[in-house]
Structure 1
Amino acid sequence: MDDEFLSNLSPTPPGDPEALTPNSTLEPGWWGSSDGGETAHFVLRCVMTSAYILIITVGLLGNITLVKIFITNSAMRSVPNIFISSLAAGDLLLLVTCVPVDAFRFFSEEWVFGEAACKLIPVIQLTSVGVSVFTLTALSADRYKAIVNPMDIQTSSAVFWTCLKAVSIWLLSVLLAVPEAIFSQVVSIYSSIDLDNMNVTFVNCVPYPLSNEMHPKIHSVMIFLVYFLIPLTIISVYYYHIARTLIKSAHDMPGEVSEHTKRQMETRKRLAKIVLVFVGLFALCWFPNHVLYMYRSFHYHQMDLSLAHLIITLVARVLSFSSSCVNPFALYLLSESFRRHFNSQLRCGRGARPERQPSYMHSTSHIRLTSIKKTVPTAVVVAPAANGNPNKQEVAL
């Protein structure tokens, strides 16, 4: 989705004989000498390799355990959890493909994976990002419906339609990533650096044609709009209405409210909070990378060889890939039910408590859909599930 496969040297478009000019002065103390350069390369390689290994290990452990919990525990198979499982699957795809390839950049300045991988890897990365942000949008819509319009009864086919939505999100993400496969190409790049009159020629994978300098600008802006700004704007609208409904319901709630209604409201607010944390983590992790990519795309013929730019680049890369491993641990901290199952899976605790305990049953699987807008606490609607039991949509976490 970005210039992760480009080196810090911007490519010179074909037919342009002029060498690229750095847009800031290189600090001679840290990179100018050969000894300093070798030391810096070694430290950088060790630090980034360690960071990427940590991201892959933690991400695989968290996401695989999350998916396993939702698959093996029938009580956890709810509408929100289907979306969260899809989110974890997208993160796993990114962790096992794009992260190792990106880590290899610190051992070779050239693209060594061939033309096929040059077209496939950007598609996988963009698909994963699309699955993440579009699924978060769908989750926000689901929380909006549960809180703002709770009287909309869930039908017995709710799980089926949710699975269909999740599959549709994957198909949409793949289709939007197809242009990456069409336009990505392996090219030979020639650059001249005003540092001991050194000329550099290397092979690299670029995500757009080099024939027009508008291509990188259009590419970066479209990526930012489709995969960041527009979805987060939609999510913000959903959460604005959710917050307004919760505030209004708190004022309109009668003095005497049943314990069941209070538990139901707390469950819905907790689920909305979890989704909001997911959205916030996604925005925090990907925003620096989007900004950096647009900066480079609009300064296509320049190089920034400063230490500050290098540090910002590395932090942006680590943050963007960290987004694939933070959700399971955010869920672990926010959801007692998930934490219990997670500890049981890892054999770190005493295992899950029996689901027949009254406190657990009343707080999760037997929650009924009562409108929080109603002022009469006895107005209760039970949504039937496929097996005739009460609806389990709010069992989510």
Structure 2
Amino acid sequence: MDTLFTSTEYPINWTNHPNETEEYWNQFVQPVWRIVLWAIAYSTIVIVSVVGNITVIWIIVAHKRMRTVTNYFLVNLAFAEASMAVFNTVINFVYAVHNEWYFGLIYCRFHNFFPIAAVFASICSMTAIAVDRYMAIIHPLKQRLSSTQTKVIISVIWALALLLAFPQYYYSNMDWLPGRVVCYIDWPEYTLLDFKTIYYVCVAILLYFLPLLVMGCAYLVVGLNLWASEIPGDSSNRYHEQLNAKRKVVKMMIVVVCTFAVCWLPYHVYFLLHQSFPELFERPFIQQVYLAVMWLAMSSTMYNPIIYCCLNDRFRVGFKRAFRWCPCVPAGSSDAMELKCTRYMHTQTSMCKGSRMDSTVCAVLPASEDGARTAPLGRAGAGPGAGGGRGSALHSPSLELTSNGSSSRSMSKTVSETSSFYSGSNLPA
């Protein structure tokens, strides 16, 4: 089966005509040892993807500090990837092993329909994050997305994804060959319009090439801004901390995008070759090629949680908390606080609240031996560092850095940045 590429015609080499008697045979039956190896490989994808992405969703949803615009899109990305791993990867493997369909017409249609929607939602979420980072860093004074607007955008993404995938659902069908059942797409035939080819090209552009072009341009401009420019005269520690925090977020997302591009590139090359040399895909060896290409594409669903854990301090803390029951995971006494506040002042006590702009707004109070400091005004002998002088933290506004690196005056406040095409076998049906 191939939910995106399959035609309704059966390849010639699936039949034999000795003595003019037609006999169908399945050339894609594999030995047991090969099935076991592929089963282990595909099972690894499902386990790592489901556990990792569900943990990512928990880290963001269960911790108010993590509920930012970028992280809302990461929740959508994690949901799409975990869903594809559950509903698509396993069935893909089972069908590709012997190219026989066991799951009925309803799931045949769902299996052809859902992967395109999930991949579209994933790539659009990554594109939305790239645009959000671009606006936050290149145009910091413009209004940012609110949580409500972000949720509306995510809903629109899924609506467009379902609309794009609908033709795969509508034209999906099953057929009974002697000895086996196949699930395929019965594309309509028009004399003046090759609907199938046009649809495949549109899907490839919308699900791969166009989003990568947009993200590439956005991150190129952001990278030049963050790594190739400095604000003259502003070299404070807080500015550099904010700049490094922005760089870390951008680095993480660039790695996520590059991983997606590398994982899905062989599949799209496979698709283009299929359009140009269809006879090549009727040979038995193509099954192993397809299983390898599909494994690489499906494995893209399991890498993102690993990337978040390795490149983001807060996600690393979240994973430690989620897997603290595991003996191999070290526990830290200060880890629990890191999801609530990023502390830049080592000798001060910070009271923090999260914002939707990847920022931590901290009301900073100078610490003392008893944990609280009172500085009454007009006390006899009070100097500049006590209650009534210019050095009093309770009365003198301090010069702080805003999240975009500019300076602003505030009262003890710190702002810091902290198949279808993607399902089924591309074997002849």
Alignment correspondent of 1:42: 32
User: Is the 1:20–1:303 Cα contact (8 Å) retained in structure 2?
Assistant: no
For each residue in 1:37-66, what CA deviation from the matched residue of structure 2 results, as whole angstroms up to 9, or x when unmatched? 97x522221111111111111111101111
Alignment correspondent of 1:179: 167
Alignment correspondent of 1:305: 283
TM-score (norm 1): 0.77
1:226-241 to 2 correspondence within 5 Å?
226-241=206-221
1:301-340 to 2 correspondence within 5 Å?
301-305=279-283, 307=285, 309-340=286-317
Question: 1:148 is matched by which residue type in structure 2?
Answer: I
Alignment correspondent of 1:225: 205
Alignment correspondent of 1:378: 407
User: Is the 1:55–1:322 Cα contact (8 Å) retained in structure 2?
Assistant: yes
**What secondary structure is seen at the aligned counterpart in 1 of 2:174?**
strand
Question: 1:176 is matched by which residue type in structure 2?
Answer: L
Question: 1:305 is matched by which residue type in structure 2?
Answer: R
Alignment correspondent of 1:195: none
Alignment correspondent of 2:130: 140
Taking the aligned partners of 1:148 and 1:380, their CA distance within structure 2 comes to 22
1:1-397 to 2 correspondence within 5 Å?
3=2, 13=9, 19-20=12-13, 41-154=31-144, 158-188=146-176, 202-209=180-187, 211=189, 214-250=194-230, 253-305=231-283, 307=285, 309-347=286-324, 348-350=329-331, 352-354=335-337, 355=340, 358-359=343-344, 365-366=360-361, 369-372=402-405, 378-379=407-408, 394-395=417-418
Question: 2:266 is matched by which residue type in structure 1?
Answer: P
Percent identity of equivalent pairs: 23
1:247 and 1:53, CA in 2 relative to 1: closer, same or farther beyond 3 A? Answer: closer
**What secondary structure is seen at the aligned counterpart in 1 of 2:199?**
helix
User: Is the 1:370–1:380 Cα contact (8 Å) retained in structure 2?
Assistant: no
**What secondary structure is seen at the aligned counterpart in 2 of 1:70?**
helix
Residue 254 of structure 1 and its aligned partner are, at CA, apart by 2.2
User: Is the 1:285–1:323 Cα contact (8 Å) retained in structure 2?
Assistant: yes
Question: 1:349 is matched by which residue type in structure 2?
Answer: P
Taking the aligned partners of 2:223 and 2:107, their CA distance within structure 1 comes to 45
Taking the aligned partners of 1:181 and 1:143, their CA distance within structure 2 comes to 35
User: Is the 1:150–1:369 Cα contact (8 Å) retained in structure 2?
Assistant: no
Give 5+ residue unaligned stretches, structure 1: 23-36, 190-199, 383-388
Aligned residues: 349
TM-score (norm 2): 0.72
**Larger helix proportion of the pair:** 1
Alignment correspondent of 2:370: none
Residue 239 of structure 1 and its aligned partner are, at CA, apart by 1.6
Runs of 4+ in structure 1 deviating by more than 6 angstroms, as ranges, are 360-363, 389-392
Question: 2:330 is matched by which residue type in structure 1?
Answer: G
User: Is the 2:264–2:296 Cα contact (8 Å) retained in structure 1?
Assistant: yes
User: Is the 1:5–1:204 Cα contact (8 Å) retained in structure 2?
Assistant: no
Taking the aligned partners of 1:206 and 1:390, their CA distance within structure 2 comes to 59
1:226 and 1:106, CA in 2 relative to 1: closer, same or farther beyond 3 A? Answer: closer
For each residue in 1:122-171, what CA deviation from the matched residue of structure 2 results, as whole angstroms up to 9, or x when unmatched? 211111100111111101001101111112244xx712211221222112
1:221 and 1:256, CA in 2 relative to 1: closer, same or farther beyond 3 A? Answer: closer
Give 5+ residue unaligned stretches, structure 2: 16-27, 353-357, 363-400, 419-429
Could you say which structure has the larger radius of gyration? 2
User: Is the 1:286–1:320 Cα contact (8 Å) retained in structure 2?
Assistant: yes
RMSD across aligned positions (CA): 3.4
